[in-house]
Amino acid sequence: MNETAKTFDYIVQARRSVRIYNQEDVFDGDAVQRSLERAVLAPNSSNMQLWEFYRITDAAKRKKIAQFCMNQNAAKTARELVVVVVRKDKWRNRAKFMYNYHKNRIGDKPKTGYTKRDKRNLYYFGRLMPMYYFSDWLGLWGWVRKCIVFIASFWRPVVWQVSNADLRVVCHKSAALAAQTFMLSMQAEGYDTCPMEGFDSWRVKRYLNLPFSAEINMIIACGKAAPGGIYNERIRVPSGEVIFNL
């Protein structure tokens, strides 16, 4: 194991879900910003980046969010809270951003000079992503996608996860990857975190003035662990029950 791997192993081993935070230690808010800047580098589906991150730094606002988190100790004692939000509704803006990026990268090159990758990128974000993410109130287009995939599956491997429900899962997976990157970064910065799923999502959304279509992925408490902040020893099932070599 090289030194970089040893450092990373230390960070992963040290990261724990801390439920009580020290109120006396100095807290560096810049560490949160740096960690969020690293979080947005996380891998995500089709590089659509359908996420947002809200830092709750004001004491009164933290107290309000803590109430929506069922007054969990992690939320009540956190020095800062980060709300991870899924914004599937922003797919048009993100697809357009990516399309324009590739269009500008290609420049004024005539279409006859486009490489296969150029054509694929423009088609992917100009045509495929809109077809993939578009949805109607009745969900009919999702069924159309399902039918297209079913027919195509007779000739080649296909991606079956194309319904509106499937796309919600895809977006939440991407947001969770960013959240984990954030938490590992905070650990590297010398701070502890706790991802929380127990909260009133509707009240949090209204408080943050988020649209109906936005979804809260998780809320992350940040700070330095206080004595007793880690409730239990780490418990994992044996690796042989979850890791398989084929």
* Euclidean distance between CA atoms 235 and 113, whole angstroms: 57
Q: Is the dihedral of CA 179, 185, 189, 190 positive or negative?
A: positive
CATH code, domain with 94: 3.40.109.10
243 within a domain of the structure (yes/no): no
Q: Is residue 126 part of a domain?
A: yes
For residue 236, being part of any structural domain is answered with: no
Calculate the average pLDDT of the chain: 95
Domain span at residue 70 reads: 16-228
Number of domains in the chain: 1
Residue 166 lies in a domain: yes
| Residue 125 near residue 98 (C-beta atoms within 8 A) | yes
- 93 vs 132, 205, 210, CA distance in Å? 14, 21, 17
Closest CA relative to residue 82, chosen from 171, 208, 168 = 208
Confidence of residue 141 (pLDDT cuts 50, 70, 90): confident
pTM: predicted TM-score of the whole model, two decimal places: 0.94
List, for residues 9-48, the tens digit of each pLDDT value: 999 999 999 999 999 999 999 999 999 999 999 999 999 9
Q: How many helical (H) and strand (E) elements, i.e. helices and strands, does the chain have?
A: 10, 4
